[in-house]
Structure 1
Amino acid sequence: MRVIAGDWRGRKLVAPKGEGTRPTADRTRETLFNMLNSRLGSFEGLSVLDLFAGSGALGIEALSRGAEHCLFVEQDAEAVKAIKANIAALDARKRSTVQAGSVMSLGPAKATHDLILLDPPYDTGAGQVALDRMLRLGWIGPATWIALETHKREEIKLHGLAIEAERAVGKAKLTILRLAD
């Protein structure tokens, strides 16, 4: 697993040990960031939230492309170790915060984020539950872009959010969302 583009392009990332996480394939990550780049134009200065972070590859990719800060949220202990190791190897500690614990333990937001990346376990509905919670607690604002990875057969039904784009890549479905009008 490698960083696709930006300052850390080509740098290797470590994945968590065990079966607790499913790292996003390089091809899927590249497709996702192409989709986001065409909408955002640039990642410069963005505040990013990486939920169900796993190895941290999605948030690290955003940082590599110029995001100002990323909050990584992950409950699996081995995954938290991998995120911290990846952040240390890239000397990204000042631009990163790692929160060990469930996405559902997040309280009210101090501010909205520019980009929220979610890669929950497939076929659990956890992404939808997390997004509903993020909406209620003020993490999502009018300028927020959301990228949700699910299994390609998983149905997405979200209240208050509109689907901007969807694309199937292998077993995954990538969905870009915004606040509904």
Structure 2
Amino acid sequence: ATPRSSAIRPTTDRTREAVFNVLAHRFAEQLDGARVLDLFAGTGALGLEALSRGASYGVFIEESAEGRGLIRDNVEAFGLTGRTKIFRRDATGLGEAGTLAPFGLVFADPPYGKGLGERALQSAKAGGWLRPGALCVVEEAVAASFEPGPGFSVLDERNYGETVIRFIEAA
């Protein structure tokens, strides 16, 4: 399922393929059997792609009703109902993970240029959503400033047109 409104901006097919090529060749151990957290999930494309490539479980965080409906449709279409959960939350204010086991692979594709990726990473770390050494893949506009903050190290950075993808390790 794809979005009807412009409020949801899915990662382009080209960029998504490039991200998963980097994951497969440089961070394969982070993908196999991973528990995936998809922040600003939109259609769920990144988390669903990870599940199709060997991740074991995915949680999708999306605030909009349209986005959650699209994720639900896509989860059902791919037969992944038992391997996923969808939460209505603001990714920059996740709160405590509670009984959820921490995640080893995180995708964040926030609206560009608003500093939301940095805030979401800090929120996930503070709430216990990330396991030590978690790999966080953050999409942002090339022109936007980005500083992941304390407890994170940028391992790799790739530009795709106006988009930059950062591969970041959580301490």
TM-score where L is the length of structure 2: 0.92
Deviations along 1:139-170, one digit per CA (max 9) or x if unpaired, are 22323111000001112112221100001102
- Structure 2 unaligned spans of 5+: none
Is 1:169–2:160 an aligned residue pair? yes
Q: Given that residues 47 and 113 in structure 1 are in contact (C-alpha distance below 8 angstroms), is that contact kept between their aligned partners in structure 2? A: yes
Q: Given that residues 93 and 120 in structure 2 are in contact (C-alpha distance below 8 angstroms), is that contact kept between their aligned partners in structure 1? A: no
Letter paired with 1:118:
A
Deviations along 1:95-118, one digit per CA (max 9) or x if unpaired, are 111112321342212432110000
SS in 1 for 2:114: coil
Q: Given that residues 93 and 123 in structure 2 are in contact (C-alpha distance below 8 angstroms), is that contact kept between their aligned partners in structure 1? A: no
- Structure 1 unaligned spans of 5+: 1-13
User: Which residue of 1 is the match for residue 12 of structure 2?
Assistant: 25
Cα RMSD over matched residues?
Answer: 1.3
Q: Given that residues 17 and 79 in structure 1 are in contact (C-alpha distance below 8 angstroms), is that contact kept between their aligned partners in structure 2? A: no
SS in 1 for 2:18: helix
Give the drift of 1:138.
Answer: 1.6
Is 1:69–2:43 an aligned residue pair? no
User: Which residue of 1 is the match for residue 95 of structure 2?
Assistant: 107
Instruction: Measure the CA separation in 1 of the matches of 2:155 and 2:45.
Output: 23
TM superposition outliers: structure 1 runs of 4+ over 6 Å: none
Deviations along 1:61-97, one digit per CA (max 9) or x if unpaired, are 0000011100001011111111110011111101111
Instruction: Measure the CA separation in 2 of the matches of 1:145 and 1:164.
Output: 9
Q: Given that residues 16 and 81 in structure 1 are in contact (C-alpha distance below 8 angstroms), is that contact kept between their aligned partners in structure 2? A: no
Is 1:141–2:128 an aligned residue pair? no
TM-score where L is the length of structure 1: 0.87
SS in 2 for 1:91: coil
SS in 2 for 1:98: strand
User: Which residue of 1 is the match for residue 122 of structure 2?
Assistant: 132
SS in 2 for 1:144: strand
More strand by share: 2
User: Which residue of 1 is the match for residue 79 of structure 2?
Assistant: 91
Aligned residues: 167
User: Which residue of 2 is the match for residue 5 of structure 1?
Assistant: none
Higher mean C-alpha deviation, range 137-146 or range 75-84: 137-146
User: Which residue of 1 is the match for residue 48 of structure 2?
Assistant: 60
Give the drift of 1:38.
Answer: 2.1
Instruction: Measure the CA separation in 2 of the matches of 1:44 and 1:179.
Output: 18
Give the drift of 1:179.
Answer: 2.5
SS in 1 for 2:101: coil
